[in-house]
A and B are shown apart, each in its own frame.
Chain A
């Protein structure tokens, strides 16, 4: 083969080898001492996907959105579509976000509040501001535990494919929604996430949903996550589940005036 052909082939091969599908290689991204992309930082989605994964118009309380689902429509089974309609009708009270334990996975990723990633070789620790739960993505070669276990955030095991973190999530309890308009999954969901840098302050997040109880085929969503860059920015404690009973626990300095009542 001529040198020219080799150079041409090399030139063709370079974009094929680098970066995730649909993405260009990200130079100058933060890397761990082991050479992997380091996703540590505080991240937030601006997608508005929590208001509705599919394209939707505004309501009095919520903005419009062009949707984050590839192909626009989630491929529900007919019975599941009926359940979504029931969810939608009851959403003012039935949306599990009102309980505020957690938005779960993956809603916590594209939710409206930020989350922090702490990364080390064996795992990524994700602390979500809303509800303040912690999700661990194990990257130490361990596997899902045996049998189905009901977890709120699922069980996450990740590995690297080049500069992309591929995370396999199973063991859902099926009690949570995917957004405010009643999109949902069952406990049979098998989620595959792909995390990669689009540039040093932007993560491209893709999630593929496979749930034969609910969907007729797998489907994928994609959002961008933006690094929070304000100086001294931090996740602020938000155990909002305590708001349900906060009135019963006044700040203690008020207890003296309440004594005997």
Chain B
């Protein structure tokens, strides 16, 4: 419970940095009634403003691979923690939760982006949940 609390705390702090004041209106582009969870491998990270983007290859039940775009907040918060592009190597397996785009394209607004073991992708080496980290 404590580690999950810490993970949520990290996540909450991160999400607070992508606040109510997102560059566009959330509801203009995303559907709060279409939450989705995806598992896939990281293909690309875009460190762009106003939003950064993560792209993951997700294999469907039919075996077809679709590349999904995941929107997250402005990269400033990550840069401030010392995270850099090199901290997001292609090929890592990720579990992404978010809300689908109203357009129906394979695009989501990311609520959480984690490794399958629950560690938050965005907290890097300072993540208290990292293996061996002191608490």
Indicate if the CB atoms of B82 and A150 lie closer than 8 Å: no
One of B48, B82, B86 near A148 (C-beta < 8 A): B86
CA distance A261 to B82 in the complex (A): 50
Chain B residues whose CB sits within 8 angstroms of the CB of A150 once the complex forms: 47-48, 85
Expressed in whole angstroms, the minimum distance between the Cβ of A136 and any Cβ of chain B is 15
Indicate if the CB atoms of A147 and B47 lie closer than 8 Å: no
Chain A residues whose CB sits within 8 angstroms of the CB of B85 once the complex forms: 148-150
Residue interface mask A242-261, B partner, CB < 8 A = 1: 00000000000000000000
Q: How many residues of A contact B (CB 8 A)?
A: 7
Indicate if the CB atoms of B79 and A149 lie closer than 8 Å: yes
Cβ of A146 < 8 Å from any Cβ of B? Answer: yes
Residue interface mask A126-169, B partner, CB < 8 A = 1: 00000000000000000001111110000000000000000000
CA distance A4 to B84 in the complex (A): 62
B interface majority secondary structure: loop
CA distance A149 to B48 in the complex (A): 10
CA distance A149 to B84 in the complex (A): 7
Instruction: Bin the interface of chain B by size.
Output: under 10
Across the interface, name the chain B residue whose C-beta is closest to A152.
Answer: B48
CA distance A149 to B81 in the complex (A): 13
Chain B positions 35-88 with a Cβ under 8 Å from a chain A Cβ: 47-48, 79, 82, 84-86
Across the interface, name the chain A residue whose C-beta is closest to B45.
Answer: A150
Expressed in whole angstroms, the minimum distance between the Cβ of A243 and any Cβ of chain B is 20
Indicate if the CB atoms of A146 and B82 lie closer than 8 Å: yes
Across the interface, name the chain A residue whose C-beta is closest to B48.
Answer: A150
CA distance A145 to B75 in the complex (A): 15
Across the interface, name the chain B residue whose C-beta is closest to A151.
Answer: B47
Chain B residues whose CB sits within 8 angstroms of the CB of A148 once the complex forms: 84-86
Indicate if the CB atoms of A149 and B82 lie closer than 8 Å: no
Chain A residues whose CB sits within 8 angstroms of the CB of B79 once the complex forms: 145, 149
Expressed in whole angstroms, the minimum distance between the Cβ of A170 and any Cβ of chain B is 13
Expressed in whole angstroms, the minimum distance between the Cβ of A154 and any Cβ of chain B is 14
Chain A residues whose CB sits within 8 angstroms of the CB of B48 once the complex forms: 150
CA distance A196 to B84 in the complex (A): 35
Across the interface, name the chain B residue whose C-beta is closest to A187.
Answer: B85
CA distance A147 to B87 in the complex (A): 11
Across the interface, name the chain A residue whose C-beta is closest to B83.
Answer: A147
Expressed in whole angstroms, the minimum distance between the Cβ of A145 and any Cβ of chain B is 8
Expressed in whole angstroms, the minimum distance between the Cβ of B54 and any Cβ of chain A is 14
Chain A residues whose CB sits within 8 angstroms of the CB of B47 once the complex forms: 149-150, 173
CA distance A145 to B86 in the complex (A): 15
Chain A residues whose CB sits within 8 angstroms of the CB of B84 once the complex forms: 147-149
CA distance A146 to B82 in the complex (A): 8
CA distance A173 to B86 in the complex (A): 13
Across the interface, name the chain B residue whose C-beta is closest to A173.
Answer: B47
Residue interface mask A18-53, B partner, CB < 8 A = 1: 000000000000000000000000000000000000
Expressed in whole angstroms, the minimum distance between the Cβ of B29 and any Cβ of chain A is 15
Across the interface, name the chain B residue whose C-beta is closest to A101.
Answer: B48
CA distance A124 to B47 in the complex (A): 25
Binding site for B on A (CB under 8 A): 145-150, 173
Binding site for A on B (CB under 8 A): 47-48, 79, 82, 84-86
The 3 closest A-B pairs by CB, nearest first: A147-B84, A150-B47, A148-B84
Q: Given A148-B85, A150-B48, 14 more contacts at CB 8 Å?
A: A145-B79, A146-B82, A147-B82, A147-B84, A147-B86, A148-B84, A148-B86, A149-B47, A149-B79, A149-B84, A149-B85, A150-B47, A150-B85, A173-B47
Q: What are 16 sample pairs from A and B whose C-beta atoms fall under 8 A apart?
A: A145-B79, A146-B82, A147-B82, A147-B84, A147-B86, A148-B84, A148-B85, A148-B86, A149-B47, A149-B79, A149-B84, A149-B85, A150-B47, A150-B48, A150-B85, A173-B47
